[in-house]
A and B are shown apart, each in its own frame.
Chain A
Amino acid sequence: MEQRIKILSATHFITSTSSICNGFVRKDGKLLFDGVGSEGAAFMLSLYQHFCFNYPKFYKMDNLAKLGWLAAELLLTDDFKQAAYQAGRVGLVLANKNSSLDDDIRYWQSVKEIASPSLFVYTLPNIVIGEICIRHGFKGEHTFYIQEKFDANFIVQQVNYLLDNDILDACICGWVDFMARDFKAVLYLVEKRAEGLALEFNSEKAASVFNVST
């Protein structure tokens, strides 16, 4: 996609970012938590406790949904002026490499004994979007793409279409991937006004935030 022509788009802004990767948790680029060395599920639980989140449904989620849910909490807590938006005008565009395979394997192991409906329901990558929508009441457009690597150009193009064509007023986009020991989440809050971080929303900026989130 890199060589595609650039589409003229109004300027939109990354107003906030969050990332969870290799034990490092960042919000707007600032390190908030360092849990290097702990395994995925335990790390996410310690993160949940560290930030004193209170959402009992968290415990029922699979690892991918927990990761996306935590990243969205960090992204939106304090900064997001949700009251300024209608529910149907906030949406999500997310991508990852491993779909829901981490949970798929757990589900398939359960089938040998008795198939678990509570594991089966998470065997779709877009369930993490559903969880974030339920938590925040977002009812706008959403899509989950599978990509070998984070394709900033494609994501920026999709989100710009939604904002330019008056389908959404705000969009949360990015990458949420969880597979066994490897996981990474990087989320961007994209709005039409230059508030917060006020980074111009383009593929170079999105890629650079992604690449420093390690």
Chain B
Amino acid sequence: MGMRNVYVIADNVFTPLGKTTAENFARLKQNSTALKEYHNKSGQYFAALFEPTEFLIGSSGYTKFEQLMIVSVKDALDRSGISCTDDNTVLIISSTKGNIGLLETEALSPALQERIGLSGSAKLVAKHFGFRDQPIVVSNACVSGVVAVTTGMRLLRTGQYEHAVIVGADLISEFILSGFQSFQALSTQRCRPFDKNRDGLNLGEGAATIILSTDKKHEGNVSVLGAGISNDANHISGPSRTGQELANAIKVALKDAKLSAGEIDFISAHGTATPYNDEMEANAIALAGLESVPLNSLKGYYGHTLGAAGLIESVISIQSLKEGLFLATPGFDEIGVSRPVNVIAQQMQVRAKSLIKTASGFGGCNAAVVFGK
């Protein structure tokens, strides 16, 4: 049985920089960043955070995390022309920590434990929009967003559904912040992906939604062409020494997309700006034969948005394909990885057909997805 083509038919990016993909892309073209300086008891840091009431929809039954997903899904759905109330449409949610911030404000109880659970949030969002089937929840560290797109692509390819609404979201609570501080993973400056002077990451809040469809009327849209996922089997909190495993995920994704490395025009890298991640990623990109392909990291605009990152960065990069404009990598000045990958320092006009989005995270996970026209 032939696999069906999977088209991207609508999307949304909801971040401190803007409430739609277009608003976000316009701000990125001006090199605006959402990163600001903050202080807490452990010291000073940069992060990209929402104003306290920025996206609240005034409905008390939903947590902030659920409201953030709802506003992002609503905008994308409104643009898609699909109905989510038939049983041909599936909702897929990507998040690392969801409602975990409730631990900080509510007393611990069995009811609170239930309320924190991602399944509960997924059900509430599904019910809000009237999805018929049970939603799918991916929670696979910082590759969650790319994995969620992969899951959606496969469910559509095999004809299980006709449409997939895929949303990723995470909020930065004291829980997450204190954890990354305890790891000494945060930079005290704006992060500097792939740069010689990079010294850690910045955290960010945000959401993004991608709606996929196999409806042939969307032929000509950007498609999801292939995906690959791998594990380092090396260390739970440090990346592979060689980058071979991320390189393998990239190769699997290319094979799935029936493209050669030479046909990839652009890489949307993970580029967290920690010393180890960027070094590993540069090795992997070189091992996969993509050393000369232009790449960027969007972390200097949004920080690391965890379970939303794969989706935000995919949507923005798809917009780059559509507009023929590769965005710069804020914070990058001088190459600081041993394999000289082609980091985009200044935005550039291009004619491009296909891109690969990569991600890596705790637990030794790596993922890559290929989009193309």
Contacts and interface: CB of A to CB of B under 8 A. Distances in A.
Interface of A: 1, 3-5, 7-8, 87-88, 91-92, 97-99, 101, 104-105, 107-108, 111, 114-117, 120-121, 123-127, 129-131, 133-134, 136-148, 151, 154, 157-158, 161, 167, 179
A90 B228 CA distance: 14
Contacts of A92: 231
Interface stretch (B14-22, B47-55, B175-183, B260-268): B175-183
Given A105-B108, A117-B179, A127 B117 contact: no
Contacts of B178: 111, 115, 120
Given A115-B182, A130-B363, A154-B136, A98 B117 contact: yes
Contacts of B147: 143
Q: What bracket does the count of chain B residues touching chain A fall in?
A: 35 or more
30 contacts: A7-B160, A92-B231, A99-B98, A104-B175, A108-B175, A115-B181, A117-B183, A120-B178, A120-B182, A121-B183, A121-B236, A123-B97, A123-B179, A124-B141, A126-B362, A127-B236, A129-B365, A133-B232, A133-B233, A137-B233, A139-B231, A141-B229, A141-B231, A143-B138, A145-B138, A146-B118, A146-B119, A148-B117, A148-B119, A158-B154
Contacts, number: 158
B45 to A, nearest CB: 14
Contacts of A99: 98, 117-118, 139
B236 A134 contact: yes
A116 B248 CA distance: 33
Interface string B135-170: 011111100000100010010001110000000000
A79 B116 CA distance: 39
A139 B134 CA distance: 30
Nearest to A124: B141
B113 interface: yes
B100 A104 contact: yes
Contacts of B120: 148
Contacts of A3: 87
B322 to A, nearest CB: 29
A3 B123 CA distance: 18
B133 interface: yes
Given A120-B183, A145-B138, A134 B235 contact: yes
B119 A125 contact: no
Contacts of B187: none
Nearest to B161: A4
Contacts of A142: 140, 229, 231, 365
A131 B236 contact: yes
A126 B178 CA distance: 20
Contacts of A107: 175, 179
Contacts of A154: 136
Interface in B193-237: 228-237
A123 B236 CA distance: 11
Given A116-B182, A126-B363, A133-B364, A141 B160 contact: no
Interface in B85-139: 87, 96-98, 100, 103-104, 108, 113, 116-120, 122-123, 133-134, 136-139
B309 to A, nearest CB: 14
Contact of A161 (B158, B231, B252): B158
B313 interface: no
A148 B331 CA distance: 42
Given A120-B183, A123-B97, A124-B139, A138 B233 contact: yes
A98 to B, nearest CB: 7
Nearest to A154: B136
> Across chains A and B, which 6 residue pairs bring their CB atoms closest together, nearest first?
A130-B363, A120-B179, A115-B182, A146-B137, A148-B119, A133-B233
A146 B138 CA distance: 6
A130 B229 contact: no
Given A3-B87, A88-B248, A126-B363, A146 B139 contact: yes
Contact of B362 (A1, A101, A124, A146): A124
